Structure 1
Amino acid sequence: MNISKPIDLPGEDICWLTIAELTDGYRTGALSPVAVAKALIERIRALDPAVNCIVHVDEAYTLAMAEQSLVRWQAGRPLSAMDGVPVTIKDLSAVAGMPKRRGSLLFGTDPVAEDTPCVARMREAGAVFLAKTATPEAGCKVVTQSQVHGVTRNPYNLTKTPGGSSGGASAALALGFGPVALGSDGAGSIRIPAAYTNLFGIKPGFGRVPAFPPDIDMPHSVVGPLSRTVEDAAIMLDIISRPEPRDPYMWPVPFALPADLAEPDISGFRIAFSSRLGCTAPLIDPESDALVEEALPLLVAAGAQVTREDPLWPVDPFTPFKVFWETACFAAVEGTAPEKRPLLDPLIRSVGVSGAAVDLLGYMRAMEQRMAIAAASKAFFERYDLLVGPVMPVPAYAAERDVPEGYASEDWDWCPYTYPWNMTGQPAASVPIGFTAAGLPVGVQIIGRVGGEADILRAARAIERARPLHQRRPPMLG
């Protein structure tokens, strides 16, 4: 599939602006939230057909939000640092007045009545909801494709996947559909797409961003931001982490937006670097490994004390994760009326069969193993502030495949670097580190201790300052 760059790409003059640049323009009157929203809607219509990352646009809805923001800016009373800022929302999160299909044939196009808490926080902050982005059904894949919306492609190479399950969010950002996107991460679903599309994405620690109603994926799955810059993600995280009294797991300690992100000070940070993160790696790509290694001298140059050390796990993290993955799929099948189960994604149904074979003792054993893994990680982070290593073992692969060649669609053991941190509940992020010879982006993962989002952001910003790869646009844009 090829695309020729339009003579005049809609919104090209404003689509790469950061949150601060947009709101500075609103403040001075040089920019209007309404004009920005209109330009980005036109951009979506021009570019999305090539990548298929947008699943819902409601121009009247978006422009009504933008017009309300314009009134506030003209009165000098913006609601927050995100007032008037366009944001896309992954279609696993509820937006009042928009459908929530979750990439599933089970759900129709009727609008839902209530925002999910993180969406409500952005609405209260005056953000402008630009569109909803594609996801595989229930976020169940490492790629973004569904029976409802088809295959989503990577703007850096249209034959490749943008990753998943927040691949619609990452592809939208890579094309300039706003400065930030809301994603979610239950096994790597923010970090994987960020790594595959030259973006920054952070999975907050469990409990940092409130959620409601309770979900079967808790505590593995959390929502979080993707962005082109670290600072934009930090601003969004500050907004979406504000309290929700109905969430029983919400932390009572608010997120503190780092004041030094422009020029972060990481001198004295104790950082462990691990090329495998203590995991078994059946797939190895020397080019990706070499790029991840390049983060080490950048962190040293920024003042950090970096030591090579692998975390030691009491059990392979894949062992309990496989149980949680299979039983979650089984619960999805059992929670669906028998006559409607054929509508479920075949992957969910096939993995659900394995989940049905997990007995109570097997599930309890997996719970014990998860606790042992979390305890081992806590002990490791008594000696280190951060752990740095790979996000994915290989670059982006064919968009039509669920997994790389040689693996079955239900396999997760080929990409072991992300899901351990969902089981421990720790924050983790992906920051761009380079491109392969074929032009495919590669990310490096930064993991922090519980409550350590600010330290992750500082270290990521140090890498971003040394290597501002977010300025490199997809080839399809010319």
Structure 2
Amino acid sequence: MTSEIAGEPSDATAAQLVEAYRSGTLSPSEALESVLARIAACEPKLFATYAHDPDGARAAAAEATERWRRGEPLGPVDGVPVTLKENIATRGVPVPSGTAATELVPAPRDAPAAARLREGGAVITTKTTMPDLGMLGSSVSSFHPRTTNPWNPRRTPGGSSSGAGAAAAAGYGPLHLGTDIGGSVRQPAHCCGLVGFKPSHGRVPVVPPYYGRAIGPLTRTVDDATVLMRVVSAPDARDHTSLPPADLDWDAVARADETRLEGVRIGVMADSGVGFAVEPDISSAVNAAARRFADAGADVEPVGPLLRREMLDGLDRFWRARAWAEVSALPPARASKVLPEILRWARTGQELTGEQVFHGFSQMDAMARAAATLWEGIDYLLTPTAPIPAFGVEQAFPSDDGERPFEHIGFTVPFNMSGQPAVSVNCGWTGDGLPIGLQIVGPRFDDVGVLTLARLHEMLSPPPRPWPAP
């Protein structure tokens, strides 16, 4: 279709689109039409979108087309299609948080990340789906249809950034933003074969901010994740935890081929300490990735488990109490609309004592302190992103056990609580063709280093599989 882009523009990277805009071989309006056609072709089976607005997107793309015609683009995402998880507010669009219990009131203004993207000329094509209250690792929702995985519609795309993961894998444009409080960006990346980056806490302002909550990209390539981070990582006064302005060298990620691993100490954590046992296919893929780093010169060594049962169960109790506080404050008619699995889980929060809730709250800090000790002997950490592959799309919980709903997040949740940057990248496939995620973690604030190591992993890995056809 263009000299720069082989195939459909909907499958192009952000850099490829921008180069085509610059050369005049493709316009933002033409790229958008390709994305809209892909969405129309896939949505009858994927159900990844919410508040899809083709007319608004076309108007934004037309403005970007004119800016590129004048040679006056606003930045590295001007005219590039982007989706946002539905809990990242965009003005005029209600924020249901995945549940039918929400009163649908239009958001009065853009959240910080949405505002930065709009200021940069990005074309917001649609919002994407999530499960009730973002408290599931699946796409089961009382408000949205159940989102499916493009690699296998009988499997979940992961959660809670379910629609973002499905949209990225299906080619709804190159850039997608999700949110992550226990793995909700990295888990869909694992399930859908993507790059999913949770930045250092405060790197991308969040409204409302909360312990462990982060906003990060879901993309097909590390370069696209970096492009998105470059735009959305500006501070915003609405998030009192946002980091001060920082002149990060995002360009270093593109120079990953210059990275020397000699003397770099990389730990490999094969067991998180709690939850599901790691399945053999996943262990093998992660170990193969570790060997590639070792062959490139890194000092690779095993690292022991991080979590204790007390930590994960305590956090579960605290989240139950918090969820029940929110649900019980709703009028009964609205509260009854919450997904039954979530309602049963949250209702147990009313039985907890103040001491139990406080102990659960304290486990977030216990995780952070445990994670901090890792960096006394290593520079970066490799783990499986999840111990199991994408589970059944009909399941709310991977274990079908509402009493133990978080057995799959033992590798991801500690780094929300420690505030450290962590990225999931595809490192292999199960015997039945499901993606496997490798998590790369670094010290807090070393976002560029983590993405650089992820980019190097791309370079060291075998060629990727073709993306699922529409």
- TM-score, normalized by length of structure 2? 0.93
The reply on whether 1:386 has 2:386 as its aligned counterpart is: no
- TM-score, normalized by length of structure 1? 0.92
The reply on whether 1:16 has 2:8 as its aligned counterpart is: no
Q: Residue type matched to 1:51 in 2?
A: L
Inter-CA distance 467–31: structure 2 relative to 1 (3 Å threshold): same
Q: Residue type matched to 1:290 in 2?
A: S
Q: Residue type matched to 2:217 in 1?
A: P
In the other structure, the counterpart of 1:139 is: 134
Which whole-Å CA distance do the structure 2 matches of 1:408 and 1:365 have between them?
21
Kindly, what percent of the aligned residue pairs are identical?
A: 34
Kindly indicate whether the alpha-carbon contact (under 8 Å) linking 2:148 and 2:156 is maintained by their aligned counterparts in 1: yes
In the other structure, the counterpart of 2:230 is: 238
Inter-CA distance 286–80: structure 2 relative to 1 (3 Å threshold): same
Which whole-Å CA distance do the structure 1 matches of 2:308 and 2:274 have between them?
13
Q: Output aligned runs, 1:215-234, within 5 Å.
A: 215=209, 218-234=210-226
Shift of 1:469: 5.3
Kindly indicate whether the alpha-carbon contact (under 8 Å) linking 2:269 and 2:383 is maintained by their aligned counterparts in 1: yes
In the other structure, the counterpart of 1:291 is: 285
Kindly indicate whether the alpha-carbon contact (under 8 Å) linking 1:235 and 1:257 is maintained by their aligned counterparts in 2: no
Identify which of 342, 349, 352 aligns with 2:343. 349
In the other structure, the counterpart of 2:150 is: 155
The reply on whether 1:462 has 2:451 as its aligned counterpart is: no
In the other structure, the counterpart of 1:274 is: 269
Shift of 1:51: 1.2
Which whole-Å CA distance do the structure 1 matches of 2:103 and 2:79 have between them?
29
The reply on whether 1:193 has 2:188 as its aligned counterpart is: yes
Identify which of 35, 49, 53 aligns with 1:54. 49
Instruction: After superposition, give the CA deviation of every residue in 1:266-320 in whole Å (9 maximum; x if it has no partner).
Output: 523221111113x224333111111111111121233322111125557643133
Identify which of 222, 246, 260 aligns with 1:254. 246
Instruction: After superposition, give the CA deviation of every residue in 1:168-208 in whole Å (9 maximum; x if it has no partner).
Output: 11111111101010101111110010001110001112111
Which whole-Å CA distance do the structure 2 matches of 1:315 and 1:341 have between them?
31
Inter-CA distance 467–189: structure 2 relative to 1 (3 Å threshold): same
Kindly indicate whether the alpha-carbon contact (under 8 Å) linking 2:274 and 2:308 is maintained by their aligned counterparts in 1: no
The reply on whether 1:211 has 2:206 as its aligned counterpart is: yes
Q: Residue type matched to 2:212 in 1?
A: H
Shift of 1:326: 1.0
Shift of 1:418: 1.4
Kindly indicate whether the alpha-carbon contact (under 8 Å) linking 1:315 and 1:373 is maintained by their aligned counterparts in 2: no
Kindly indicate whether the alpha-carbon contact (under 8 Å) linking 1:317 and 1:420 is maintained by their aligned counterparts in 2: no
In the other structure, the counterpart of 2:171 is: 176
Which whole-Å CA distance do the structure 1 matches of 2:146 and 2:88 have between them?
20
Q: Residue type matched to 2:89 in 1?
A: A
Q: Which runs of 5+ in 1 are unaligned?
A: 1-10
In the other structure, the counterpart of 1:439 is: 433
Instruction: Give 3-state SS (helix, strand or coil) of 2:336's partner.
Output: helix
Inter-CA distance 340–109: structure 2 relative to 1 (3 Å threshold): closer
Which whole-Å CA distance do the structure 1 matches of 2:149 and 2:178 have between them?
16
Which whole-Å CA distance do the structure 2 matches of 1:245 and 1:274 have between them?
37
Which whole-Å CA distance do the structure 2 matches of 1:317 and 1:472 have between them?
40
Shift of 1:333: 1.0
In the other structure, the counterpart of 2:419 is: 425
Which whole-Å CA distance do the structure 2 matches of 1:15 and 1:414 have between them?
32
Which whole-Å CA distance do the structure 2 matches of 1:183 and 1:445 have between them?
17
Shift of 1:91: 0.8
Inter-CA distance 27–94: structure 2 relative to 1 (3 Å threshold): same
Q: Which runs of 5+ in 2 are unaligned?
A: 1-5
Which whole-Å CA distance do the structure 2 matches of 1:60 and 1:116 have between them?
21
Inter-CA distance 416–313: structure 2 relative to 1 (3 Å threshold): closer
Q: Report the count of equivalent residues.
A: 462
Instruction: Give 3-state SS (helix, strand or coil) of 2:244's partner.
Output: coil
